[in-house]
Amino acid sequence: MVQVGLGVLAASGATPTLWVLAPLMFLFFCGFNALEASQPSLVSRMAPAQVRGAALGSYNTLQSLGLFAGGALGGALVKWAGAPGLFAATATLTGLWLVLTWPLRPVGRNVGGGH
C-alpha cells in the first residue's frame, strides 16, 4: 500500500504534504518494525542449533550489505531515472518478492524435542 501511494505521488509530480506522507510512513514503519523483529527470529528457528550463531551472523552481515547496496543503487536509480523510475523499480522488486514468497508456509518449532 505504501509503495503504491508513493508511486502515485512520484508519478503525479505533486509535492507531497505532511497529511499524505504521515499515514504512508506510519504504515511503512509498522511493517518495517514487524519484519525487523520477526526475520532474525525466523533465522534462529530455522537454523540447526550447531550453526545458529553463524546463521544469525550471516543474516546480520547480509542485512548490512543490503542496506548499503539498496541506498547506493536507489540513489543511482533516482539520478538516472528520477523518482518515478525508482518507484517503478521498487514496485517491480516488491511484486517479485510477493510472487516468490506467497507459497511459503510458516516454519513450526519442534517443541517436544522429538523428530
Non-local (6+) Cβ contacts of 109 within 8 A are: 45
Query: What pLDDT score was predicted for residue 109?
Result: 55
How is residue 49 annotated by DSSP? G
Q: Which three cell numbers stand for residue 52?
A: 545458529
The residue among 7, 11, 20, 66 whose CA lies nearest residue 39 is 66
pLDDT of residue 107: 64
Q: Which residue has the cell 503504491?
A: 4
Which candidate, 2, 50, 44, places its Cα nearest to that of 23?
2
Q: Is 62 among the domain residues?
A: yes
Q: Is residue 72 part of a domain?
A: yes
pLDDT at residue 106, as a whole number: 67
Q: Show the domain range for 97.
A: 2-101
List CB contacts of 39: < 8 A, sequence separation 6 or more: 59
Question: For residue range 33-47, what is the model confidence (pLDDT) as tens digits?
Answer: 998 889 999 899 889
User: Is 39 part of a structural domain of the chain?
Assistant: yes
The predicted model scores a pTM of 0.64
First vs last C-alpha separation in the chain: 41
The pair phi, psi for residue 102, each rounded to 5°, is -55, -45
Ranges of beta strands (E only) in the chain are none
- Residue spans of the chain under pLDDT 50: 111
Instruction: Please check whether residue 74 lies inside any domain of the structure.
Output: yes
Report pLDDT for 5: 77
Query: How many structural domains comprise the chain?
Result: 1
* pLDDT of 46: 87
